[in-house]
Amino acid sequence: MHPEWASSGIRLIIFLFFVVFIRAQGTYWLGRATAQGALSGSGRDGLRGKIAAWFNGPIPRKGADLLEKWGLILIPLCFLTVGVQTAVNAGSGVVRLKWRTYTLCMIPGCIAWAFLYGFGMLAVWMSILAAIAGSWWGWAGILTVLSIIAAIVVVRRRRSRPLEAPVQAQNS
C-alpha cells in the first residue's frame, strides 16, 4: 500500500524509486553482513572456519571480479527481472563488491524498476522476456495485451466518429 500523496504520476515514480533503492541497499548490506559474520570465523576450526575459508576462496573472488567487470550491466538489468534481483543484490554484498560501484550501478536499475511498477508494465515486460526465452505463455500474454490495446483503439475511434445523418431518398 502506498501513501495517498503517491497515488499516481511522478510522485508515484519517485516513491517507488526510493522503495526499491532502500530495499536493494538493505539486501546488499545483509549480504555484506553475512560475509562479515562468516569471515569472523577465519582461522578457526570446524564449520565456522570452513565457511570463512570459502568466503575467502576462489568462488566469491571470481563472483566479485565478474561483478566488478560486468556489474555496470548485470546490476541494473537484474531490476528488470523477478527473482534474480535479490540474488544479484545480496550476492554483490556477499562478494564484498565496492559499495560505490554497486550503488552507481543500481541507480539506473532502480529508475527502470520504478517506471515498470509505476506504469503497471511489469507483466508486459515479463511476458516479453518469457516470449524471447521461447515460452508460449509469454507469447500468449503478449498477444492478449496487444488484443486489448487494439480493442481499446477501435472502441475509441468508433466513439469519436460523428454520427452520420441517414441518407434520404431524393424525390425528383
* Same-domain check for residues 110 and 138: no
- Do 150 and 104 fall into the same domain? no
**Nearest residue to 54 via CA among 41, 70, 68, 69:** 41
**Is there a domain that residue 168 lies in?**
no
In a shared domain, residues 86 and 22: yes
**Residues 115 and 129 occupy one common structural domain:** no
Residue 131 is predicted with a pLDDT of 72
For residue 163, give the C-alpha cell: 454520427
User: Do 131 and 108 reside in the same domain of the chain?
Assistant: no
CA distance 33 to 93: 8
In a shared domain, residues 96 and 20: yes
Contacts for 114-119 with beta carbons within 8 Å, 24 or more apart? 114/13, 114/14, 114/16, 114/17, 114/19, 114/20, 115/13, 116/80, 117/16, 117/20, 118/12, 118/13, 118/16
Tell me the whole-structure pTM to 2 decimals: 0.62
Q: What is the pLDDT of residue 123?
A: 66
Looking at the predicted structure, is the pLDDT value of residue 62 above 70? yes
Q: Which domain holds residue 100?
A: 4-120
**Same domain flag for 87 and 102:** yes
Same domain, residue pair 115 and 128: no
Q: Which carries the bigger pLDDT value, residue 172 or residue 34?
A: 34
Total domains in the fold of the chain = 2
Q: Is 66 found in the same domain as 130? A: no
| Mean per-residue pLDDT over the chain, rounded | 80
